[in-house]
Amino acid sequence: MRNRKPPFEITNTMIHEIAEIAELVGKLTSTNQLSANPTLRRTNRIRTIHGSLAIEQNTLSLEQVTAVLNGKQVLAPPKDIAEVKNAYEIYERLEELDPYSVDDLLTAHGIMTRGLVDESGVFRSKPVGVVDQEGHVLHFGTLPQYVPNLVMELLDWVKNSDVHMLIRSCVFHYEFELIHPFANGNGRVGRLWHTLLLSKWNPAFAWLPVESIIHDRQQEYYEAINASNNAGESTVFIEFMLSAIKASLMDAINTSDEMSDGAMDKATVRWKQIEKFMQTHEFIMNADVRALCGVSAATANRILADLAEESKLVKCHENGHWAYSLKIKENRHEY
């Protein structure tokens, strides 16, 4: 089989990102928080699943995904609930998967789309076009008769290339979406496989919610794919994905710091800040928490979700946006 190199350039931006990612990975693994904390691993896994499925228009909130995986009843479309359960099952089997095996790739697709699509666990049999959120055609996928060989060739290149795995995994992600080997579920499986490849470079990546960062930056994700399609090579997409991976690591380190000595103090300080804010506001939103606590959007989401889980706040819809209010009205200051 030819071991054709997919088209891309290694840029100074990539080299800088890889150096920073390697430093961040060292910092994260030195704290041992991910390997020592099953609660944190599960929280990250749930964020991963929510992020990856939300990109594909799954309607469940992070809280609803958590509830489904805790065995609670959730009022939501059965298809969306099934997507969550299927995705959780295959992510839980990540360590069993061979990232260079076509059979394992098909098995993963079969579990991810079980009971949801006609061609589950098999390559598509019909031509397909890929569209973005606005319905614009990004490109037409490879003709179905060429899909199996192109996927095998891509996996063979990823396995045997001497390019750094951080770049190889991004190239796989882009080329996989370009081939578009399945009738449905290409995005979910592509992101799963990207995580799988990264986890073979460093096991910590099995528990890092990179998909959540992609969801937060979804428009940039599509723009990077578009730019790479127009250029006929994946350089722009690789640079975007490396920045998302770096952001995911920084978020994980912040979380790890919060869970180390003094974490309770930091959480208490943040709650006091939010509680004070709520004395003069009926609702609080992500942007408010970012400003109050000096944190990223992803960390603000987690702070709000944790407070809702503790029943200190309740999630609600206000003027077309998600917001949070105090759970018990009697606790509010009258003014």
Residue type, 21: I
CA gyration radius, the chain: 21
Dihedral (Cα; 324, 326, 328, 330), 10-degree rounding: -140
Q: Is 132 annotated as a binding residue?
A: yes
Q: Is 326 annotated as a binding residue?
A: no
The answer to whether 180 is a known catalytic residue is: yes
Q: Is 88 annotated as a binding residue?
A: no
Q: Is 136 annotated as a binding residue?
A: yes
Residue type, 26: G
Q: Are strands 321-326 and 313-318 parallel, antiparallel or unpaired?
A: antiparallel
Q: Is 137 annotated as a binding residue?
A: yes
Q: Is 135 annotated as a binding residue?
A: yes
Cα(259)–Cα(37) distance, rounded to whole angstroms? Answer: 9
Cα(256)–Cα(330) distance, rounded to whole angstroms? Answer: 35
Q: Is 133 annotated as a binding residue?
A: yes
Count of CB atoms situated within 10 Å of the CB of 273: 16
Q: Is 68 annotated as a binding residue?
A: no
Coil, helix or strand for 321?
Answer: strand
Residue type, 206: A
Q: Is 138 annotated as a binding residue?
A: yes
Q: Is 57 annotated as a binding residue?
A: no
Which of 180, 194, 215, 321 is catalytic? The answer is 180
Cα(17)–Cα(239) distance, rounded to whole angstroms? Answer: 8
Q: Which residue has the tokens 């691993």?
A: 41
| Catalytic center residues | 180
Q: Summarize the annotated binding site as residue ranges.
A: 130-139, 221-222, 229
Q: Extract the annotated binding site for ATP.
A: 130-139, 221-222, 229
